[in-house]
Amino acid sequence: MSGRPDRNVDSGRRQSCAGEPAGDGGRDEAAHYLVEAVSDLGRIARRHGLDTLGFLLYMAQMESEEIVRLRGRT
């Protein structure tokens, strides 16, 4: 099949202790990134009248903000 590469095939990248590729920021960095990304996508969706999609993206934003907030407490 063409398209996305098979994720089960070793790409030659080293894995960190948490099982994430070396240089990947991990859960915390991903959550921070997602806060911004879903915020931007939600704004675009609402601007174009895609209210349900905007709402779902807003919920994803709130969830990622909560993860960031809780992870910052540890």
Write out 3-61 in H/E/C secondary structure.
Answer: CCCCCCCCCCCCECCCCCECCCCHHHHHHHHHHHHHHHHHHHHHHCCCHHHHHHHHHHH
Using one digit for the tens of pLDDT, what is the confidence trace for 38-51?
999 999 999 999 99
Identify the pLDDT of residue 34.
Answer: 93
Using one digit for the tens of pLDDT, what is the confidence trace for 5-36?
554 444 444 444 456 565 678 888 898 999 99
Identify the pLDDT of residue 52.
Answer: 97
All structural domains of the chain with their residue ranges: 26-72
Q: What is the pTM of this model?
A: 0.63
